[in-house]
Amino acid sequence: MSPSSHCELCRGDQISTRYFEDDDCWIADCVICRVPMVVWRVHDPAPPDPVRQILLERLATVADASYAGRPWYVDDHMRKIPDHYHAHART
C-alpha cells in the first residue's frame, strides 16, 4: 500500500525518543505507552512473515538494551491504528 498522509505512523514525525531507523522501519518510544515500538514503513497491517521477523529482530535489539535484561514481550495487537503494522515491546 502507498503511504497515507492521514496516518501518523506513515508520517513518522519524530516526537519521542528515536532509537533506530532505516528503509524498512523506525523504532521509537510510543507516545501513548512510552515503550519501544517498531513501525513498518509500509502502510499495511500485515507484513509478510520474513519482513515481520526482521522488524521484530530490530525491536528486540532495542528492547533488550532498553530493559537491561528484564523480560519483555512483543505486543502487536494494533488497537489505535489497526491498518498500519507496528509492535510494542512491553514488560
* Helix H or strand E encompassing 55: helix 49-66
Residue 67 forms part of a structural domain: yes
Residue 3 forms part of a structural domain: no
List the domain range (segments joined by +) for residue 64: 8-90
**Mean pLDDT value of segment 64-90:** 96
- Please report, to the nearest 10 degrees, the dihedral formed by the alpha carbons of residues 59, 11, 81, 21 taken in order: 0
Residue 2 forms part of a structural domain: no
Structural domain count, the chain: 1
Taking a C-beta distance cutoff of 8 angstroms, is the pair 87, 75 a contact?
A: yes
Residue 1 forms part of a structural domain: no
**H, E, C per residue of 1-53:** CCCCCCCHHHHCCCCCCEEEECCCEEEEECCCCCCEEEEECCCCCCCCHHHHH
Residue 16 forms part of a structural domain: yes
**Residue 16's domain is classified under what CATH number?**
3.30.428.10
- Average pLDDT, whole number, for the chain? 95
pLDDT one-digit tens code per residue, 27-66: 999 999 999 999 999 999 999 999 999 999 999 999 999 9
pTM of the entire predicted model: 0.94
